[in-house]
Amino acid sequence: MFEAFLIAAALAAAPAPAGAQGAAKPAAAAEPAPKPVASADLKDASGASVGTATIFEGPGGLLMRIEASGIPSGWHGVHFHEKGVCTGPDFASAGAHIKAGDHLHGLLNPKGHEAGDLPNLFADGGGRVEMAVWSNSVSIKGAEGRPALLDADGSAVVIHANPDDQHNQPTGNSGGRIVCGVLKAAG
């Protein structure tokens, strides 16, 4: 038994025969951990920081993580807005949703959707938000013709008072803007 084990171990350690090199390749080295390409300090109407949005870029789209607290419990619309300016208390300075072509607002609108549209986020009973969402409608710097978040006038992540119904114009009845964060390139 012991001998058999030694033989097996020797076979395992032997170099693979030339013809089997493809199959015997060592596993690919682990990919480096993805690094954020942009982030935003999320602020409420009084200018207080309530959380962060962090964006990673992958093939064909962006992954955004939002972590926030102190948000009224329930569903809220959240979008990429066209200007990187968050002047409280109404955050009108962030402009409209990022848009490409003549699409209408709403992920569920047959004539939609705007590039800045996103699914709603949810704040739990304690006002805590944890969200991860993928968008294949925008890019960081204009990849594949998708509108760039970090274009000349920047962009902002805006959370609204109410949920976005994903079809009415212009914001899916998502109401006022309660949180805004200017997206900045990750250092």
Which residues here bind Cu ion, judged by CB under 5 A? Answer: 79, 158
> 37 vs 158, which CB is nearer to Cu ion?
158
Cβ distance 97 to 78 under 8 Å? no
**Euclidean distance between CA atoms 61 and 81, whole angstroms:** 17
Q: What is the closest distance, in whole angstroms, from the C-beta atom of residue 108 to Cu ion in the complex?
A: 16
Q: What is the closest distance, in whole angstroms, from the C-beta atom of residue 34 to Cu ion in the complex?
A: 26
Query: Comparing C-alpha atoms, which of 80, 67, 183 is closest to residue 130?
Result: 67
CA angle 130, 60, 149 (to 5 degrees): 65
Q: What is the closest distance, in whole angstroms, from the C-beta atom of residue 103 to Cu ion in the complex?
A: 15
Neighbours of 81 (CB within 10 A): 26
> 43 vs 79, which CB is nearer to Cu ion?
79
> 81 vs 146, which CB is nearer to Cu ion?
81
Instruction: Name the residue number minimizing CB distance to Cu ion.
Output: 79
> 65 vs 83, which CB is nearer to Cu ion?
83
